[in-house]
């Protein structure tokens, strides 16, 4: 699905409709020093291994993709609710 590079929508900080720049949300880089990663490393240490079941047989062929909208007036960033798409692109 194609999305416009900018769209006019409601900004909760400006409390009115303003122009927003559109991009597709991407997960941040995993950092080894962060608490969740350290905790998981402790869990996996020693005998026992994986502490929660990993999903192997995926039923779904798509991933939820959400849009990141940045207000051009105040810089406030909001996200649109994720929808299942095979391909999302900003044109």
Q: Interface with Zn ion by CB under 5 A: which residues?
A: 11, 13-14, 71, 73-74, 76
- Smallest gap from Cβ 70 to Zn ion, in A, equals 9
- Smallest gap from Cβ 5 to Zn ion, in A, equals 18
| Identity of the residue, 14 or 41, whose beta carbon is nearer to Zn ion in the bound complex | 14
| Identity of the residue, 67 or 71, whose beta carbon is nearer to Zn ion in the bound complex | 71
Phi, psi of 64 (to 5 degrees): -75, 130
- Smallest gap from Cβ 76 to Zn ion, in A, equals 5
| Identity of the residue, 9 or 40, whose beta carbon is nearer to Zn ion in the bound complex | 9
Euclidean distance between the first and the last CA atom of the chain, given in angstroms as a whole number: 10
Burial 20-36 (b: 16+ CB within 10 A, else e): bebeeeeeeeeeeeeee
| Identity of the residue, 42 or 74, whose beta carbon is nearer to Zn ion in the bound complex | 74
- Smallest gap from Cβ 7 to Zn ion, in A, equals 13
User: Looking at the chain, which runs of residues are DSSP E strands?
Assistant: 2-3, 6-11, 16-24, 63-65, 67-71, 77-79, 83-85, 89-90
């Amino acid at each position: 699905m194609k999305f416009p590079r900018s769209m006019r929508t409601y900004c909760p900080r400006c409390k009115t409709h303003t122009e927003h720049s559109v991009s597709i949300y991407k997960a941040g880089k995993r950092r080894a020093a962060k608490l969740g990663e350290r905790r998981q490393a402790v869990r996996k240490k020693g005998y026992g291994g994986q502490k929660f079941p990993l999903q192997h047989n995926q039923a779904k062929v798509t991933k939820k993709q959400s849009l990141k909208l940045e207000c051009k007036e105040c810089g406030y960033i909001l996200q649109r609710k994720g929808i299942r798409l095979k391909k999302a692109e900003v044109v």
